[in-house]
A = this chain, B = another copy of it.
């Protein structure tokens, strides 16, 4: 078993901002890769917004991806709608998706949630305490009761997301706010995990516990079943092919076996 992991990164801050470049000399994607070092069940690559006209996310690349990580911030609007739809379809087919930090406002996360995904925020380098709600949840495996992150951007409730399937983490911030920092969803055959920490101005992705959560989440999001490629189909099951074959009663608008409207 190999979990084919792809880290998608906007990769703009590192180029424009010295501070971020110093914190993440190999890019934030480079730091995130370290989450998997020494763990042989993963194969890990990356794709960047500016890689090519498809943001590094060709159909082939996505078809060969089991779990996709997503970090974006200043350039959400530059991600093409067509690529967003492509990613969404792969999630529905069974690809896992881990959305990180400012990715809450990415097109793909909003697309899959169906809500604004808005929140409060503050950049003051305050303490964040990420509390574990169920220490035996696969995403929390091996963690202490809470993870302290010395400096982080604050994200505060209300976080305009659908009621999660599971709330895995809740964060406490020094300035007085709280936030659902780890939440899970199912979209079609795909598992989705949103994980809050990761502001570009702080060394969050060098924190071993943060990396451990991301590695755990990658395992959790992995679905070994064959892709559910037909999940968008709306097949007609004609009367004589029904599990219990039928005679047609009453009037019909559709011809035998025809395709439905979409």
Contacts and interface: CB of A to CB of B under 8 A. Distances in A.
Interface string A127-159: 001011111111001000110100100101111
Interface stretch (A39-47, A58-66, A242-250): A242-250
Given A135-B228, A172-B176, A261 B124 contact: no
B187 A261 contact: no
Interface residues of A, number: 100
A70 interface: no
A249 B199 CA distance: 14
Interface string A171-184: 11111111010000
B189 A242 contact: no
Contacts of A135: 158, 189, 225, 228
A2 interface: no
Interface stretch (A28-36, A49-57, A111-119, A205-213): A111-119
Nearest to A171: B178
A166 interface: yes
Nearest to A92: B116
Given A121-B260, A134-B186, 18 more contacts: A77-B262, A102-B261, A114-B187, A116-B231, A118-B232, A118-B234, A123-B248, A124-B249, A125-B249, A133-B159, A136-B189, A136-B225, A137-B189, A157-B170, A165-B166, A175-B243, A175-B245, A177-B243
Interface of A: 13, 17, 19-20, 73-74, 76-77, 88, 92, 94, 102, 105, 111-116, 118-126, 129, 131-138, 141, 145-146, 148, 151, 154, 156-160, 162-163, 165-167, 170-178, 180, 185-189, 200-202, 223-225, 228, 231-239, 242-254, 260-262
